[in-house]
Structure 1
Amino acid sequence: MAKGKAKGQKGKRITLKAAKNSIRITFDGRRRLDLSKMGITTFPKCILKLADVDELDLSRNMLKKIPDSIQKFQKLRWLDLHSNQLEELPEAIGMLQNLVYLNVSNNKLTTKNLPVELNLLKNLRTLNLGLNRLDNIPTTLGALKELKEEEASIFQSPLLQIPRECLSLQGHANHRTL
C-alpha cells in the first residue's frame, strides 16, 4: 500500500515508450506530442529525446516547473501548458524562436515570474496568460510585433495596470479567445 501512496504523490511517470506512443501527426503534417491529462507532476526528462516535435501539449497536468531544458525543443511552434500549477516560466523559453502559439493560462503565474525573455519570441502570434495571478502586463510584451491582438488573451486576471506599450491588448483583458 505504501508504494501506491508514494506513486500518487509523485504523479504519473512517463516513459520514453509512452511518450513515443503519444506522438500524433496533425492534419497539416506536424508532429504533436500530446501528454495532456496524464497526472504528470514533474517534467518528463525522457521527452527531451523527442525534441524534434513541432507541437507539445502538457496541459491539464500538475506541473509546478518547466526546466531550462525546454530550449532543446528548437522546432517547437506550439506549446500548451495551460491548467497546471506553474508559478514561473524559465528564461530559456525565450530560446524557442519558432514558437507561434503559447498557452500558459490557468496556472499560478505572477507578473514578476514572467521572464523578460518572452520578448524574444518574435514569431509568437497567440499568447494566453488568462486565469493567472498577473497584476499587470509586462511592457516587454510590446516587442512581440507578430502577436495578433485578437489572439492575445489575459481574461480573468486581476490586472491593475496595463502599460501604454500594450494598450492594443487592453480591449481583450476580459475576452476569451482560446
Structure 2
Amino acid sequence: MATRIEFHKHGGPDVLKAVEFTPVDPAENEIQVENKAIGINYIDTYIRSGLYPPPSLPSGLGTEAAGVVSKVGSKVTHIKAGDRVVYAQSALGAYSSVHNVPADKAAILPNAISFEQAAASFLKGLTVFYLLRKTYEIQPDETFFVPCGCGRRRDDCLPVGKSIGCEADWYRRQCAKSANCAAGRRMAGH
C-alpha cells in the first residue's frame, strides 16, 4: 500500500486527505517513483481551490518531486529501477509516496544533490533555463532584465547569468523582502 494526498471537493487546506491506495504498474513510457521529497508550488493552491480545476475529482495534487525509481515501463530505456530521479510537470499526484510519471518528465539526479534540494528547485531551474537559454539564448556580455528583482526569479536567474558572463538589470516595485531591494540595482556579472 502507498499513501497520497487527494481532495474530493474544492476548498482550503482542510479538503486535503491522506488516502491509502495500491499503485498500478507504470505504462510503457512511464516510471514509478518512490518519492522521497515533493516540490510544493503555489499553483497547487489554485488547483485545490478550483481556480484551476483538475480534469476530475477526486484528484491528487502536485506535479514535482524527487525519489528512487521502483519500476519502469517496457519502452523506457534511459532510466532503470534504482535510479535517483527528479521530475516536474507530471500528471497531478506527486503528493504521494509512489507516483507514476512519464519518463520524459524525469531527469537522473546526481548523488551530490539531495532529494529535498532537487524537489524544491528543479521546476524553478527549468524556468530559468528556458528563459535564458531557449526562449532567447543569451550571450556573454549581454544584459538581461529581471522584473521585480527582489524575489526568487532574481535569485534563480542571477547565478545562471553570471555563469554565462552576462549582466542583469532588475528593479523592485513594492517589495521589502531584502535590503538589496533599495530601489533596484544593476548587477554586473552577478
TM-score after normalising by structure 1: 0.27
- Higher alpha-carbon Rg: 2
Higher strand share: 2
TM-score after normalising by structure 2: 0.26
Higher helix share: 1
